[in-house]
Amino acid sequence: MGHDIFEITINAIKLIVCFLIIVQAVPVLVWAERRGSAFIQNRLGPNRIGPLGLLQLAADAVKFFFKEEFAPANAVKFLYYAAPIFALIPATVAFAAIPLGAPVQWNEHIFRLQGYEINVGIVFILAVSSLAPYSILMAGWGSGNKYALMGALRASAQVISYELALGLSIVGMIMTYGTFNLSEMIQAQQAPLSYSLLGFTLPLNFLPAWGIFYQPLGAILFFAASFAESNRLPFDLAEGEAELVAGFHVEYGGFKMLLFFIGEYGHMIVASALMVLFYFGGYVIPGIPMETLNQWALEHAPDANFASLLAGLITLVCFLVKVVVFLWIFIQVRWTLPRFRYDQLMDLGWKTMLPWALFNTILTATLIYVAHL
Amino acid sequence: MTADVFLFWFLAIVTLAGGLTTIMITNPIYSALSLAFTMVGVSALFVTLNAYFLAGVQLIVYAGAVTVLFVMVLMMFDLKHEVTAFTRGKISGMVKSGIVAVLAGILVGSISLTTDIFSKSGAAPEAVIGGDTTKELGKVLFSKYIFGFEALGILLLMVAIGAVALARSKGGTHAKQ
Amino acid sequence: MPSSDLFLEVGLSHYLVLSAILFVAGMAGVLLRRNAIVILMSVELMLNAVNLSFVAFSHYMGQMDGQIMVFFVMTIAAAEVSVGLAILVSIFKRYKEVNIRFFEHLKG
Amino acid sequence: MPLGGVIFITIFVAIFGVVILFAASLFGTRKYDSVKFESYECGIPVQEKKDTKISVKFYLTAILFILFDIEIIFMYPWATTFRDFIKSGEGGYVFISMLVFLAIFIFGLFWEVKSKALEWE
């Protein structure tokens, strides 16, 4: 984790902060979702407690805390309690691998604004998120309820089906950048945009070389698949109320329910962050290269350490703003589209998105090959 | 004791505990979950050996796919009450355990006898692959082992067809009552 | 290898011994368990142990071939599990039984 | 090595979860009766879940997922090294061999769709 005690301490703090970001984002997102849905549906939403209903979050937390502790009689106790705890882990571990801002240079130490730097970042994040079905299956089996079990099987079948489309849709992107490393991807997206094919070059200098301009189809597929991965509407078949009551967490309440919520919103945050990273330039401010920003920070800070810290914080804010935009799209979509039927969902995953992702891969490979002839 | 050594012993103990739980515990669901735990441990051991990409693949394929399949099948079968998890028959059980113990002894003994050969003939610590092995892996896979790669593609196709055929044999898509 | 270094210096033989123990554990599972699904799991455990020794050799010998082999082994393991479980499911659908001793009586 | 960090955060989150569930269990009213412990069943008496029919489709989907997942994993090393191969002049060879692999993939997918293995009635 580091070479000396200072570095180890800072790294441990960073990891805990990453976790707290996810935990703290959830009440804010829940509030945004309730206000946003009210706005979309021409209602008021929570507005009684505190300014704009903001204290509703605290009230909810207190309410959850005083809920009765209880497990159904025919539950498998160990799995029943382990499932919500395990629901937190994949999202947190994946989120900690995402670079949130430019690295900060403090004397001889370099601190990256991320939990840990992993040189096969994408594979790591995919691998960790592929562990998510366990929590669902444990909850479904542990509850000892047939609705929970049905919901868990549906949810995990959905998650693994869309994992295929998710995994395949980023192959083209990996090919474009030629790396698995997330930091190198951000580096690659800083240059101005230019298309080159068969010796001709079309410079579009007013646009940054973001992945979305090279991989529009891949970006759409990735974003759609990540909706399904985080069990959000229109893909929330796991908890189709009409036929399955609440899916795999029907027997859960209080803080156990809240932990599932944190896991679900955590997946949403990771998906938005990945979207920003892969296709929208990461933490770099559009139009302002990192050199300009560093120069500006040097002029406005007392010394190099603080200048680096300032630049890091600005990029962090920029990254969070971009992520918030995508989180809002998640919320907007949830309150706009109706739910699929289960067979439609599976058809979309296997027969529509997978072939299109394949097409995207072949097209990208062909274009890259032709461009280098 | 450096951090790397500590990490190895930690992971070794964790992985072994997972592996032993898999074969000792009588409830198959717990067996499958501890198998997943073992897979995660092995993947972490791959990371200590600098095989980053393989560690990720191990997680995706084994922990994220194969063991999920096990868990799903077990949940479908609903095998909660399994009275006889282990083989009956004391003598045959003893014979089998004895065979296993002998094999363990032979393996460990042969490893401790032959490691000197490897450390002398083979690589000095400098030759150990360090850093990013992912691109290297891709280069070797797509030049030297390209035929095996295509053959595996065919194999997977065959297995997909065979598994579908098997799953639908007799009795349609629903379990018989 | 001197015994004082046994715990302080991790080398190839450590990984090999670990992999051997895992392999033997898997083999014990195959021999001693009766549930056919658990037997398949034990086979997976054995394959994992082999993978570990492949990667260890690859690392300490400085060659990539071991890692490629692991790739292939993983594929074959997944194929084996798919077919194995498909067979088990179709047997279970007919006879409601996964005991390995029961399979001896299957004929024709 | 990032592994220490991964293990640290995993254990931290697990401990956090345990602590918070334990703390929450200390508060709250407790008024139990036998009905409360029954599984949720829409108001009717609980039925034994012995004969829960679960479609084999779920498991078939999982099998097909494993097989296609591995094929996708195989594309990852190719995707990272494709540009390097083009630079070293072996691009055409690798491109063709990958197209063959993709053709096998597409044939498999086509066959699964054709054989109605992916049909959810």
Indicate the helix (H) or strand (E) that contains C72: helix C65-95
pLDDT of B86 reads: 66
> Is D59 in Cβ contact with C85 (below 8 Å)?
yes
Q: Rounded distance, CA A89 to CA A240, Å?
A: 25
Q: Rounded distance, CA C19 to CA A309, Å?
A: 46
pLDDT of B45 reads: 92
Q: C-chain residues within 8 Å CB-CB of B93?
A: 32
At residue C67, does pLDDT exceed 70? yes
> What's the Cα-to-Cα distance from A102 to each of A173, A185, A238, B50, rounded to whole Å?
22, 13, 38, 26
Tell whether B173 lies on the interface with D, counting CB pairs under 8 A. Answer: yes
pLDDT of C97 reads: 74
Q: Rounded distance, CA D97 to CA A365, Å?
A: 12
Which of D70, D73, D74, D76 to probe the C interface (max C CBs under 10 A)? D70
3-state secondary structure of B168: coil
Give the structural domain span for C15.
10-98
| Highest-scoring range by mean pLDDT, A182-186, B153-157, B172-176, C9-13 | B153-157
Residue B9, φ and ψ in degrees, nearest 5: -65, -40
Query: C9 vs C51, which has greater pLDDT?
Result: C51
**Interface B:C, ≥3 CB–CB pairs < 8 Å:** yes
Query: A87 vs D28, which has greater pLDDT?
Result: A87
- For each successive 10 residues of chain A (373 residues), what is the average pLDDT? 75 87 86 86 80 81 80 82 90 90 81 82 90 89 81 84 89 87 85 76 78 88 88 70 68 83 89 90 82 83 83 89 91 83 82 90 89 75
Establish if C4 belongs to a structural domain: no
Touching partners of C (3+ C-beta pairs < 8 Å): B, D
pLDDT of D48 reads: 58
- pLDDT tens by residue, B8-51: 889 999 999 999 999 888 888 889 999 999 999 999 999 888 88
Q: Which of residues 115-144 of B touch D (CB under 8 A)?
A: 134-135, 137-139, 141-143
pLDDT of B121 reads: 43
Q: Rounded distance, CA D24 to CA D18, Å?
A: 10
Closest CB to D76 among A161, A174, A355: A174
Query: How many domains does chain C fold into?
Result: 1
pLDDT average, residue stretch D10-39: 81
| ipTM > 0.85 (yes/no) | yes
Closest CB to C86 among B5, B16, B167: B167
Closest CB to A126 among B60, B68, B132: B60
Q: D-chain residues within 8 Å CB-CB of C74?
A: 70
- Angle among Cα B161, B165, B171 to the nearest 5 degrees reads 160
**Contact predicate A67/A254, CB 8 Å:** yes
> Is A130 in Cβ contact with B60 (below 8 Å)?
yes
Mean pLDDT of chain D: 81
Write down the domain spans for chain A.
64-371
The domains of chain B, with CATH numbers, are 1-86 (1.20.120.1200)
Q: Rounded distance, CA B139 to CA A135, Å?
A: 37
**Under 8 Å CB-to-CB from A250, ≥6 apart: which residues?**
A143, A145, A147, A148, A151, A244, D40
Nearest chain D Cα distance for residue A311, angstroms: 24
State the pLDDT confidence band at B64, using cuts at 50, 70 and 90.
Answer: confident
Query: A49 vs B55, which has greater pLDDT?
Result: B55
The domains of chain D, with CATH numbers, are 3-114 (1.20.58.1610)
Nearest chain C Cα distance for residue B90, angstroms: 11
- pLDDT tens by residue, D56-71: 778 888 888 888 999 8
Tell whether C108 lies on the interface with B, counting CB pairs under 8 A. Answer: no
**Contact predicate D24/A67, CB 8 Å:** yes
Establish if C104 belongs to a structural domain: no
Share of chain B above pLDDT 90, in %: 19
Establish if C5 belongs to a structural domain: no
Q: How long a stretch of residues is chain C? A: 108
Cβ atoms within 10 A of the Cβ of C54, count? Answer: 22
Strand ranges, E, within chain A: 104-106, 109-111, 192-197, 200-208
Establish if C33 belongs to a structural domain: yes
Q: What CATH number is given to the structural domain containing C67?
A: 1.10.287.3510
pLDDT of C10 reads: 77
